[in-house]
Structure formats: C-alpha cells, structure tokens
C-alpha cells in the first residue's frame, strides 16, 4: 500500500503540472494570505525592536517540506521538515533570524543525501517523532556578510537547537569563475553545540555549464561529527542537470561514498540516481521524486531500489 502511494506520487507529477492555472485558485489565495501574515508578524517584530523605516519593512520566508522514502529493507518512512528566515532591517543590514531544520542549509546542492531521512528508525514504525521534533526546533540569529574584495561569503549563527543545545555556527564560502563555462565553489561549515559538540563539513563543487539550460556538477563533501562517538564520512556525486522551464529540472548521475572511521574505513555505497523537480498548480508548491539504485556494505545489502519523494511549499 505504501509502495503504491510513492509510485502514485511519481506518476502524478506530470499530471499536476497540467493543473497550473493563470487565475489564482482558492489554494493560491490561502497561500498568499499565509505569506502576508508571516510578513506582517515579521514587520511587527521589526517595529517593536526600534524605529523602523517604512520603506524597509520586516519580511519572512518559510519552507515546509514533507520527505518520504521507501525501500524493501527499511520500508516506508516519512519526515516533516521546516526552515524559515525572518529579516529585521531595524537591527542591522545583515542580521536575520533563522529557524527550523538547519541541516537543510547543508544540502542545497548535495545529491548524496538521496533517500536519507533518519539516523535510526524503529523497524515497526515509519516516523521518528522525537528526531523530527529535535531537528526542526532550532532558532538562532544569523549575521550574513562577506569580504567583497576577496569574493568570500560568510554566515555566523548563534542560537539553540533541540530545545537545550546552545550552539554557534560559522560558514565560509567562495566561488571561482575559472572560464565562461567552468566554475568552482568551496564551502566550509563548522558548528559547536553544548550537547551536540563538534560538527564539521566541507563542500567542494565543480560545475561545467554546457549551455543556458544544461550543466554538469561534480560535488564532494567530507563530514565530521563528535558528541559521544566520532563519525567521519565522505560522499561524492557527479550528475547532469537539464532545466526545462522556470523552476523545473531533471538531473541524473552517480553518487557514492563511505566512512572514514577507524574500524569502518570503506567504500560503502555507490549507484545511479534520477531526480526530478517541478511546481504543481503554482510556483510555490513543488514535488520532487527521486529514484536511486545503490548498495550498503555496512548493512551487507546488495544494490536495491530506493524511492524518495519531497513535497515542498514555499511561503
């Protein structure tokens, strides 16, 4: 039954696209109402904090995501995720409030996360409420700035995660446009929490732009976590992406990775994947089905099919 649910969502993707209309529907009107409410709340906070400039009101953005996965070993799992930002011009030009699942910030162009929702799920259950609650209950202040003469972007966060984990986070990134078609991006993220301890991630991207609608991406990441235990892992993906219409694309390629722990240093998994993303009904609601076929040596699993569907609403 759950397998049919995922397959149905995959099959309905092209049908949903045909349902888009130029005239706003009742759903579109409710979305606009919710977006305006979020902006009004942000502006009220902005006014409360000081003398606000009426030409620079506070604004808010919100992503509401429902990720679902199925494979023959772990069966069906589902995880809700949220991520939002509140801009408050009265504070400082570059200071924002961020809240929700901060791991989404690390996955912006990473195809190695395909189908991975939870660290641990009870085989008899399909939803880890505690992990979902903890990952979404993050709030912090973010200072976003950069060193313009060096082309470096920076984010510095301070806040609280999972209700009691006080953390600080720094992100530094730089883009190099090597030629008209080839570019490189390097990103370094470090976070320290009073409970979660150390988290370190390096993202390296090499992008070759074939034309206005097609590019090839080579993405590599290294990740280190240390709280009670130490975890070291790496992942790599190379894929080609075609952008058909605004906000619609398909990508396909290979992803592989492994662990760098003392006793589990290995080339753990590899396999092909296909991912597709498009709006449904309007340009604020998206469906993103993904199909992959990789193995898992840590769990002694040969290659098997993974299906993954993301529904995302942007306010």
pLDDT in tens, 15-45: 444 444 456 777 777 788 888 888 787 777 7
Number of domains present in the structure of the chain: 1
Instruction: Note the Cα 167 to chain centre separation in Å.
Output: 20
Using CA of residue 36, residue 39, residue 45, residue 51, what is the dihedral sign? negative
Encoding tokens for residue 241? 């992406």
User: What DSSP string describes 227-277?
Assistant: SSSEEEEEEEEEEEEEEEETTEEEEEEEEEEEE--SS--EEEEEEEEEEEE
User: Does the pLDDT at position 116 exceed 70?
Assistant: no
User: Does the pLDDT at position 11 exceed 60?
Assistant: no
Q: Provide the pLDDT for residue 54.
A: 74
Q: Provide the pLDDT for residue 214.
A: 95
pLDDT tier at 64 (50, 70, 90 boundaries)? very high
CA distances in angstroms from 301 to 111, 294, 314, listed in the order given: 21, 9, 37
What is the extent of the structural domain holding 179? 2-314
Q: Provide the pLDDT for residue 280.
A: 87
Q: Which long-range contacts (CB under 8 A, 24 or more apart) does 285-288 make?
A: 285/27, 285/31, 285/311, 285/312, 285/313, 285/314, 286/247, 286/310, 286/311, 286/312, 286/313, 286/314, 287/9, 287/12, 287/13, 287/16, 287/311, 287/312, 288/312
Angle at the Cα of 147 from the Cα atoms of 144 and 151, rounded to 5 degrees:
105
Measured distance CA(133)–CA(131) in Å, rounded: 5
**54: CATH:** 2.40.160.40
DSSP type of residue 180: S
Measured distance CA(228)–CA(226) in Å, rounded: 6
Q: Provide the pLDDT for residue 37.
A: 82
pTM to 2 decimals? Answer: 0.79
Contact 196, 165 (CB under 8 A): yes
With a pLDDT cut of 70, the percent of the chain lying above it is: 82
User: Does the pLDDT at position 174 exceed 90?
Assistant: yes
Angle at the Cα of 25 from the Cα atoms of 20 and 28, rounded to 5 degrees:
90
For residue range 192-241, list pLDDT tens digits in order: 999 989 999 999 999 999 999 999 999 999 999 888 788 898 989 999 99
């Amino acid at each position: 039954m759950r397998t049919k649910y995922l397959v149905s969502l995959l099959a309905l993707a092209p049908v949903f696209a045909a349902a888009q209309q130029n005239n706003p529907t009742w759903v579109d009107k409710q979305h606009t109402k919710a977006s305006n409410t979020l902006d009004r709340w942000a502006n009220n906070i902005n006014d409360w904090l000081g003398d606000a400039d009426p030409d620079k009101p506070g604004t808010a953005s919100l992503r509401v995501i429902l990720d679902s996965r199925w494979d023959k070993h772990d069966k069906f799992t589902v995880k809700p995720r949220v991520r939002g930002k509140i801009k408050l011009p009265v504070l400082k030009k570059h200071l924002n409030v961020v809240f929700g699942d901060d791991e989404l910030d690390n996955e912006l162009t990473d195809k190695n996360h395909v189908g991975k929702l939870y660290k641990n799920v009870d085989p008899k259950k399909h939803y880890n409420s505690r992990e979902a609650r903890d990952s979404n209950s993050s709030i912090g202040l973010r200072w976003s700035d950069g060193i313009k003469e060096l082309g470096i972007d920076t984010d510095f966060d301070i806040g609280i995660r999972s209700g009691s984990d006080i953390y600080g986070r720094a992100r530094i990134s730089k883009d190099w446009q090597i030629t008209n078609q080839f570019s490189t991006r390097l990103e370094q993220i470090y976070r320290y929490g009073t409970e979660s301890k150390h988290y370190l991630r390096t993202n390296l991207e090499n992008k070759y732009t074939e034309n206005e609608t097609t590019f090839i991406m080579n993405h590599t990441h290294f990740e280190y976590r240390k709280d009670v235990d130490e975890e070291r892992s790496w992942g790599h993906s190379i894929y080609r992406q075609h952008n058909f219409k605004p906000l619609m694309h398909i990508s396909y390629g290979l992803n592989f990775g492994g662990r760098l722990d003392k006793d589990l240093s290995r080339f753990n998994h590899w396999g092909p994947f296909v991912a597709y993303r498009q709006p449904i009904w309007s340009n604020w609601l998206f469906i993103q089905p993904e199909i992959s076929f990789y193995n898992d040596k840590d769990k002694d699993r040969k290659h098997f099919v993974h299906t993954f569907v993301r529904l995302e609403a942007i306010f």
